[in-house]
Amino acid sequence: MQEVKDNHTSSPKKPMIVYYLLALVVIMLLNALFFPSMTSKRVTEVSYDKFLSMLNSGKITEVALEQSDGQLVFTTKDGNTLSYYKTGIWPGDGQRLLNQLRADPKVHFSAKIPTQTNPLLNFVLTWILPFVIFLLIGELLSKWMLKRMGGQFPGGLENAMSFGKSGAKVYVEDAQTGVIFADVAGQDEAKESLKEVVDFLHVPAKYADIGAKLPKGVLLVGPPGTGKTLLAKAVAGEAGVPFFSISGSEFVEMFVGMGAAKIRDLFKQANEKAPCIVFIDEIDTIGKKRGDGGLAGNDEREQTLNQLLAEMDGFDARKGVVLLAATNRPDSLDPALLRPGRFDRRVRVDLPDLKGREDILKVHAKEVKVGPDTDFNAIARATVGASGADLANILNEAALRAVRMGRKSITQDDLEESVETVIAGAQRKSAVISEEEKKIVAYHETGHALVAAKQTNSAPVTKITIIPRTSGALGYTMQVDEGERNLMSLSELKNKIATLTGGRAAEELIFGGENITTGASNDIEQATKLARAMITRYGMSSEFGMVALETVQNQYLGGDASLACSAETAAKVDEKVVAFVKESHEKALGILRDNEAKLHELAKYLLEKETITGEEFMKILNRP
């Protein structure tokens, strides 16, 4: 897609100084045409002979000497009309002339003869002209500052006069740089839902013949980083129509009514360029439920939302104007925005599955040099729950590591290390850890791995390390499922809790209950959270059965959970959670007691190597 500037904001604006100069010319013309009686008196220069003739005839009434040029300025009076004249003094005739002027009773001497000036012209020269000069200097200074600051004023001062303009970026079709569906991987279902919109924009007659109407609005919902914005650009790229892109936060204004004015301007531009696509990112900024605890009943945000609702009702879908919006908080949107006739279709853009993650890695791998030994399937299996943005970051981290290591292409080691960097942070090679602490960490991580390996329904261990990471972890055990898992049984969840408690169980078994450490804090948090979800959300307790005791909000932003039960029930839930975790902890202790010799052997090997693979771990574990 090639970005072009908005017609409403890109037209060259004339400098303000031009308008002030035009106003000054108009004032001068008004002064000359409509106030002729107020114009300045014209001073006529005459010869010295003519001056003497006027003096002898008694017409001169007042005379003054101009010290600057040594000339005489005098006036004559004919009835009520005064005339102004100027003449030079003949050399050597000064004294005689002075005596003659003194002898004439009609002549008065003045220091300076004041000329009658125009009040309007005096106002222009005294007030307007200095103001224009001041504006001219300000214009030159502003251009100089704009050049020094890289072409943009801080705080958007250059747009101070563009009130009510939407400010949307407009893209047009460009086959060289455009985004199409082939550039979007891992979202096959979402692409299928959006291809219908593209087909309608290409062949509207096919749908008009049967009476079908294009959906006015399509809402893309999903977690951050899954490619909602990229999908919207791909729809415009496939359809080959103008694409208006704007963020919901750009409609939030300090002055009431300005957001609504921007909405009107956006839809006006869209109707002029129809067929086209309008994309509003993070629409929850302006589309939140009304009356949701706000202090004002008619604030700026509500006016903006009301205008958006009115515009969606007003525009004709047959023109080919499609409104796309993206959000990761669909539960906070106003119901009026989601009813049929506005956002008719909701498209889920979920986290990619195993095949989707592999496809995303392959798409991003086209932009970097990848070695022949890379296995994207293995990386996809190790990144369960990663979004498209996360996978792009992993590939970029691998490329950066390859450069640091002096290689020309990315290897499998680079990819695996980048996965660990994104998950647990970079290695802290400079961290100083005592031998005693390294021994505790080795037994802790071996305890996790041993409990996981001895349970039938646990994911296989792929890597164990005791190298500290920048996230604060002193070591970790990586488990990777062979395939994609969408459901987990009760026994699998219990095994997972037992694996989480395996580290603390190993510390208790080897070093004694009095010497347990703080290293299990993250394990305890995850085990408690999982045990509580089994009771309150998954209905896996005999005491409460299939009763929802917890509500989840913002499922795409971490899923904040809150109990929806009485205090007495919450206390019983806490007791059940403790029982679940305690039961799994006892199971982990039993497994480690039965395999204590292997625990010592594996921990000793891990202390020597610091990092061991899953194959090495299983080889030692299965060795007699």
Give catalytic residue positions. 445
Strand pairing partners for 412? none
- What is d(CA 592, CA 571) in angstroms, rounded to the nearest whole number? 32
Strand pairing partners for 347? 220
Strand pairing partners for 45? 86
**Single-letter amino acid, residue 310:** A
- For 538, the 3-state DSSP assignment is coil
- Beta carbons of 60 and 107 less than 8 angstroms apart: yes
What separation, in Å, do the N-terminal and C-terminal C-alpha atoms of the chain show? 63
Structure tokens at 451: 């409990």
Structure tokens at 172: 């047009």
Going by the DSSP 8-state scheme, the letter that residue 156 receives in this structure is G
- What is d(CA 189, CA 144) in angstroms, rounded to the nearest whole number? 53
H/E segment holding residue 243: strand 243-247
- Beta carbons of 51 and 64 less than 8 angstroms apart: no
List own/partner pairs for 172-177 with CB under 8 A and 24 or more apart.
172/1, 172/2, 172/4, 172/242, 172/243, 173/1, 173/2, 173/237, 173/240, 173/241, 174/1, 174/2, 177/1, 177/2
- For 463, the 3-state DSSP assignment is strand
- For 553, the 3-state DSSP assignment is strand
- For 554, the 3-state DSSP assignment is coil
- Show the CA angle centred on residue 371, arms to residues 366 and 372, nearest 5°: 105
Q: Where are the alpha helices (DSSP H) in 466-516?
A: 490-511
H/E segment holding residue 267: helix 258-272
Q: How many residues does the chain have?
A: 624
